Chain A
Amino acid sequence: MRLFRLLFYYEYLHFKAARGLLLLTGLLLAAGLYGIYYGTAEVARQRQHLAELPDLGRHQVAELQTKFPGPADAGDIGYYHQNYALHHPTAWAGLALGQRDVNPYYLKLRLLGLQGQLYASENVNPAKALSGNFDLAFVLVYLFPLLIIALGFNLLSSEREQGILPLLLAQPVSATQLVIAKLAFRLAVVLGLGALLSALGLYWARVPLDGRVGLWLALGGLYCLFWFGVVLLVTAWQRSSSFNAVALLGAWLTLVVLVPSLLSVYVAAARPVPQGLALTIQQREAIHSGWDRPKDETMRQFFAHYPQYRDTTTIRERFVWRWYYAFQYLGDQSAAPLARAYATGQAQRHALAQQLVWLSPALSAQLSFNALAGTDLPAHLAFQQSATRYHDALRALYYPFLFDKIPFTHADYARLPTHSFTSPTDTGAAWAGLGQLLLSVGAVYGLGLTMLRGRAITPR
């Protein structure tokens, strides 16, 4: 143990003297701090926008009340009044922004057909989206391995190349002890930095202190451990520093860049989702055919879904709102199979990606972080479902006004339902990711230690 402490201490002295490494560690610390700042600022901006939406709604109600000073036809109100479905971020979202920048975080809904409104997108700068988010998860998943590589690529090879290794091994210390002490010191530096940044990030984002904190730290820690395992593996190979650098960088390139980008192309090709465009066309066609169809036919079809309104008066007017909203609803119904297929297709895409993440620990870590933060595709699909239920609630409120011909008074605006949805946290997916990381860690260390035992360290 004393020996270990001694080796550890000398590694510390070594590290303190290496200006390049100190600079690199400092840079990573700065990158992490910027990542925390950027991610939380982005989420704060989204929160601010979400908070402003009810004001926009109130402003619009005031406008409608001026436009319709007395009791109004509910059909007019339903046509003009904009309701907002809000997708609030979790406190974690700032640490792993995921897809929250490309998917809209609110939807403007009117009483019209839902399918024409559900897929509206938010203003997004595509060039920014392409470059991606510089959040804490990015720093941990992309940049931490690079620090680990920089710290570890010459773990034994530099001593060998400088001719110190024979001297070192002449002391009463085994090569394995040496490697483990060196790794332990670097591990302490990296894990310390990761823990510091995570703690700052968690504090800054004001996450609730529950089991997810442990899960996040475990994910980050295991991911770093994995990369140290790769370093161990390459060290056990006993080649030159240049070779080690190339091999480690090759591993990084393969696991962090190539495998994910190949998978991305594969998943998109294996699970195509053409239903998006199809359902948009279908819904418009179905709604607009409502204008040309005999009114009693539309109403008959509608009453099949809503028998409670069957007894309402027959429509003789040229235009009446309840008929208009009936064919809006029927338009949604006719697009419903396609809409379901579209949502299922996207969910299957995500499921396929989840099945394949074990191919790269970087994927496991990133997707687990996103699942924990509720910023991935399933959270958005859940929001869309929630918005659909909100639209149902709106229709449920308006239909009695429309079919029973109740005038819509100023007091009735207050009865309109509001919507709020907060991203769900998928701890199941995060646990699964943790399991995969654990397996990969076990595999690299098993292999690395076996190789280290199997081939004695050559001093030259």
Chain B
Amino acid sequence: MVRSIAHKEFLSTLRDRRFLVLSLLVLALLLAATLVGRRGYVALQAERAVAQETVNEQFHHQPGRHPYRVAHYGTFAFRPRAALSFLDNGLDSFTGAVVYLEAHQQNSVNFSPAQQAGSLIRFGELTVAFVLQTLVPLLLIFLCFGAFTEEREAGTLRLLLSQGVTLRQVAWGKIAGYSWAAVLVVAPALGLASILLLSGEATASSPDRWARLALFGLGYAVYFFVIIVGAVVVSARASQSRAALVTLLGCWMLGCLILPKATANLGAGLFPAITKAQLDAAVHEEAQHGINGHDPQDRRAAALKAGLLKKYGVTEEKDLPVSVAGVTMAEGEAYSSRVYQQHFADLTRTYERQNALSTWASLLNPYQAIRPLSMGLAGSDFAHYVHFQQAAEAYRYQLVQHLNGLQASMGYGDKERRLDASTWRAIPVFTYQAPPLGWALPQLALPALALLAWALGLSWLGMRLVDRSTTG
């Protein structure tokens, strides 16, 4: 019986002209978003790859230079976009593209797409995730709001129940039917995405990507299931179709539009972050005067020099086998990097605290569960961005320390000499390895659990409500 109700719902949905038009529209938008997203992704990726290639070449083809010069010449780290980010832009429009890696300081990641655009970008961008997260639910609401109310208004619900089915069975039948219709709308776009992913790059066969795409699809399947069940439950409880529709549309606005913005703003207001100027000043202060304020840089340098003289059993700097300047520089870099790392971790923690409000709101709002899940799987969320920043900083630190080490090994009077051009070719360039799925998953536990809780909770509690709803 459940199966035949599902079959009937599915067929009548397909015969409904309004639904056909709307779903074709959504499908067209989905396909367009997939193609446009892919194009934008390829363009940006190429732009950054060329730039990275250029600076790598430049680094390797430096003339004979003193290593300290090379440390100031530095290099750039361009953030490659994650393979699946063409489906979900996530934060990529608001995170920078390039960071300058040089001695002594940690620079900001600059040139985010949002900085290069006017306020038009704040209306949102048409991406696959946007269509899936906000427009498809709307389509599902239009599809499901009359599930029970129309049957009641037409008097067919009683007829159906007289056949010996329960309200719950009717509900599950309808949910199954609508789910098939939803699959018809969404599946072609995900299929296209898979083809694009397959035809894209040489590394397309990486299992990590396919696992991410599979979970991406699964996440949205659960999300749509939640929306369909929720809409059917509301329809069962509503007195009229109109009331069901207005309630569902109200929920949609609240969930997709108002709550995400309100929680983000509230979080930012509750946990203010420090500015770059304040952070730089604090790092400078602590590096100069010691983390505890009683260990100034000059004294640290003097102690280091005395230690070196003692270690090598000499009295004059010129008799040392190492360059004091190089060793001091290495020590200074280690110290200031440690200070910087502490402040950077504090700032990241502040941001995480700001975002926590939104993440916890996923228990109230399925939209705020699928959003972090989707961008986490696509590799465009905050955690992935911080991962890049840390990788760039780790590379910067080891590059600068390598160069300081080279300077130290040049011995006394190193400033008068240069190292051969071949030295730079031996230094490995920055290559960014995006983190694997196993790294990303634990951070997505809360939104994933929230989404599952919604699905299970609605299936259980919602169906109890359906049981108790009126029949006629």
Contact = CB atoms under 8 A, between A and B. Distances in A.
Given A125-B354, A131-B260, A142-B257, A102 B265 contact: no
A376 B118 contact: yes
Given A125-B351, A265-B126, A276-B116, 7 more contacts: A38-B265, A108-B280, A119-B110, A119-B111, A138-B261, A261-B126, A376-B118
B452 interface: no
Interface stretch (B180-188, B220-228, B238-246, B462-470): B238-246
Interface in A200-257: 241-242, 245-246, 249, 253, 256-257
Interface of B: 29, 36, 39-40, 43, 47-48, 51, 54-55, 58, 63, 65, 69, 72-74, 76, 78, 90-91, 93-98, 100, 107-126, 130, 134-135, 138, 142, 241-242, 245-246, 249, 253, 257-258, 260-265, 267-269, 272-281, 347, 351, 354-355, 358, 381-382, 385
A302 B315 CA distance: 46
Contact of A276 (B111, B114, B272, B347): B111
A375 B261 CA distance: 19
Contacts of B98: 277, 280
A134 B265 contact: yes
Nearest to A124: B94
B58 A130 contact: no
Contact of B125 (A132, A261, A362): A261
A16 to B, nearest CB: 19
A123 B126 contact: no
How many residues of A sit at the interface, in one of the four size bands?
35 or more
Nearest to A41: B269
Given A45-B272, A277-B47, A366 B123 contact: yes
B94 A129 contact: yes
Nearest to B247: A20
Contacts of B261: 131-134, 138
B279 A272 contact: no
A128 B354 contact: yes
Given A133-B265, A260-B124, A123 B118 contact: no
B123 A265 contact: no
Contact of B93 (A130, A262, A274, A377): A130
Nearest to A244: B242
A166 to B, nearest CB: 20
Nearest to A378: B118
A242 B238 CA distance: 14
A7 to B, nearest CB: 24
A128 B269 CA distance: 10
A311 to B, nearest CB: 30
A67 to B, nearest CB: 10
B120 to A, nearest CB: 5
A89 interface: no
A264 B265 contact: no
A126 interface: yes
B122 A127 contact: no
Interface string A286-320: 00100110000000000000000000000000000
Contacts of B134: 257
Nearest to B263: A131
B123 A128 contact: no
Contacts of A261: 123-126, 130
Interface stretch (A70-78, A329-337, A345-353): A345-353
30 contacts: A99-B122, A102-B114, A108-B277, A120-B107, A122-B108, A123-B279, A124-B94, A125-B354, A126-B385, A127-B381, A128-B264, A129-B94, A130-B91, A130-B93, A131-B261, A131-B265, A132-B122, A138-B261, A241-B242, A249-B249, A260-B124, A263-B120, A276-B97, A277-B51, A277-B111, A280-B76, A280-B111, A292-B65, A346-B116, A366-B119
A52 B142 CA distance: 53
A246 B281 contact: no
B219 to A, nearest CB: 18
A56 B241 CA distance: 63
A267 interface: yes
Contacts of A278: 51
A262 B126 CA distance: 6
Given A56-B277, A116-B100, A127-B355, A269 B111 contact: no
Contact of A128 (B29, B48, B78, B265): B265
A49 interface: yes
A267 B242 contact: no
Contacts of A161: 242
A73 B109 CA distance: 33
Given A138-B261, A253-B138, A288-B73, A129 B114 contact: yes
Given A261-B124, A292-B63, A122 B355 contact: no
A152 interface: no
A130 B100 contact: no
A350 B96 contact: no
Contacts of A277: 47-48, 51, 78, 97-98, 111
